[in-house]
Amino acid sequence: MSDDFPWEPVLAHLSRNGVVCRGILGHVVASQGNGPYDEHDFDKFLVACGIEAIYLHESDADVVVLGQEGWDPEDLDAVVEARRGGTLKVYSQEMVVAAMAIGQDLFDICDDDELMAFGEGHPALEYLLDHGFDWPTTEVGLAEEEDSSAEADEEE
């Protein structure tokens, strides 16, 4: 985490517009990990926005926010598996701050290449890409189902 950027004042300022934050993230968010923000501080930011922040391993939330370090691969795998065939939005902490700063959901205004720029070098998002979740899509299992269908079509 960078100590030279004033993260705390940024979060304090952005939490003043909880309506925008809830409009982007919803009312319940699962979070895990640190970086660039401490997980506890980031959860306090979510609560200040009027969002219930729950731990990833206790989650049935459709929105997940991940820090760069301190996340558990088994928890991520379980969340993805529990939503197979459904939807899941996964943000980095940086993506949430960027979305709050511009007042719009990045999934609504960015194409896949732009979203992938947030994932490059982010260990948790890269883990998801390598372990069964075609992030930044929000459709869990869609890529695997399409691949299976395409293979079945080729065999016929």
Report the CATH number at residue 69.
3.40.50.10190
Q: Within 13 Å of residue 40, how many CA atoms lie on the same side as its CB?
A: 0
Per the structure, how many domains does the chain have? 1
| Residue 99, amino acid | A
Residue 137 is assigned to a structural domain of this protein: yes
Per DSSP (E only), the strands in the chain are: 28-32, 52-55, 63-66, 89-92
Residue 2 is assigned to a structural domain of this protein: no
From CA 22, how far away is CA 41, in angstroms rounded?
Answer: 18
pLDDT tens column, 84-127: 889 999 999 999 999 998 899 999 999 999 999 999 999 999 99
Range of the domain at 110: 7-155
Q: Give 109-128 as a DSSP string.
A: H--HHHHHHHHTT-HHHHHH
Q: Per residue of the chain (156 residues), what is the pLDDT tens digit?
A: 445 667 677 777 778 888 999 999 999 999 999 999 999 999 999 999 999 999 887 778 899 999 999 999 999 999 998 888 899 999 999 999 999 988 999 999 999 999 999 999 999 999 999 988 999 999 987 544 444 444 444 555
Closest to 150 measured CA to CA, from 100, 126, 131, 142: 142
Residue 149 is assigned to a structural domain of this protein: yes
Residue 148 is assigned to a structural domain of this protein: yes
